[in-house]
Amino acid sequence: MRTTVGIIGAGPAGLLLARLLHNAGIDSVVLESRDRAYVERRQRAGILEQGTVDVLRGAGAGERMDREGLRHDGIELRFDRRRHRVDFPALTGGRSVMVYAQTEVCKDLIALQLEEGGPLLFETEALAVEGADTDRPRVRFRREGAEDVLECDYVVGCDGFWGVARSAVPDGRTFERTYPFSWLGILADVAPSHDELVYARHDRGFALLSMRSPSVSRLYLQVPADTDADSWSDEEIWDELERRFETDDDWSLRRGPITQKSVTPMRSYVHEPMRHGRLFLAGDAAHIVPPTGAKGLNLAVGDVVTFARALAHRTATGSDDLLDAYSATCLRRVWQAERFSYDMTTLLHTAPDATPFEGRLQLARLDRITSSRAAETDLAEAYTGFPIG
């Protein structure tokens, strides 16, 4: 089997890349180890930056998002029993974000790829990337019990931290931070208690109120890093959420049946460079952010947009300049997102060994954001998204 671009992984990054290449007249093959049903129900991110929304629309994958997604023009910061709304459009020249789950993005892109695009091979395990430093890289894979080879001009690894693409990069530097806490996340069949996301800083720990739809709430609690989700009863979760979201007004938390519980570790990771020869890393294969800043999926989108533009430029001009600049171009955006995610995480979470001094510093930082238009604008610009490319 032969193609121009071999894409490993059919998450949102790999699927979007295939779509962008298809629209540019460049052929690709997508290899995905899981089956279609698994990919379409894999719960991950739910906040799309303005740039991501624009890219999906431009790629022809925005119709259902625009119909069913929830546009959000701000977030609420909650601390010291106070509430403060950050107005995105007023601070950014009109930018906003969209609540639209990764599962739905994948469904839309899969449908488009199967209808219009190149091969999308589910239940196909990539075993190794070979010859990345040559002009004919190969992906060795197993499908239906038999091994085969996909010959390519380029390989893009969108297969996550544990995938074969990252392990095929022989050198480079890694930067990493592991946080001493996790998120206990729930899905609940109840209407959201607020019409925008609420980020709460509390002495007992961070809490986040989010949503998946007008009838499904997504909420998170900061918990110790070794927490078992099943060790928390439903009533204990709701009680703790209520404590951490408490305010001095008459706001109340709606409760409902919890349909899913999970624990998400908190971690920052960057691999430099994001390229080895004709192998390019994208998304979690190259970088991971704690979810506090809502950057993971959006960073992956930036990576594949950068690659697709660079390859289209090469096709049109014969110049490798943009491909050669891929890693540096992506990493500028990656490190700004890492910085913002770190800032949000340390601003809102209570470390196990936190001192009263550090707690007061958090409150001082929040006071600064809520009383200074310049500080509030910095948060709004970062949250709605850094420029792509």
Helix (H) or strand (E) holding 58: helix 50-58
Q: Residue 1's Cα: distance from chain center in Å?
A: 31
- Reduced to 3 states (helix: H, G, I; strand: E, B; else coil), residue 268 is strand
Rounded-to-integer distance, Cα 120 and Cα 117, Å:
8
Residue with tokens 């986040």: 208
Phi-psi region of 170 (alpha: psi -120 to 50; beta: other; left: phi over 0): alpha
Q: What token pair was written down for 277?
A: 């020869």
Q: What token pair was written down for 2?
A: 């032969």
Rounded-to-integer distance, Cα 335 and Cα 339, Å:
6
**Residue whose C-alpha is closest to residue 46's, from 104, 121, 118:** 104
Residue with tokens 């974000």: 97
The verdict on whether 72 is a catalytic residue reads yes
Rounded-to-integer distance, Cα 345 and Cα 141, Å:
39
DSSP annotation of 80: T
Q: What token pair was written down for 252?
A: 């109340």
Q: Which of 100, 154, 199, 326 is catalytic?
A: 199
Residue with tokens 């998204």: 385
**φ and ψ at residue 150, rounded to 5 degrees:** -105, 115
The verdict on whether 291 is a catalytic residue reads yes
> Is the distance from CB of 8 to CB of 31 less than 8 angstroms?
yes
Q: Which of 72, 194, 271, 287 is catalytic?
A: 72
Cα dihedral: 367, 373, 376, 377 (round 10): -170
Crossing angle (nearest 10°) for helices 12-23 and 102-116? 40
> Is the distance from CB of 199 to CB of 187 less than 8 angstroms?
no
- Reduced to 3 states (helix: H, G, I; strand: E, B; else coil), residue 323 is helix
Q: Sign of the C-alpha dihedral, residues 49, 51, 52, 54?
A: positive
273: preceding bond cis by omega (within 30 degrees)? yes
Q: Sign of the C-alpha dihedral, residues 61, 7, 100, 381?
A: negative
State the catalytic residues. 72, 199, 291, 295, 383
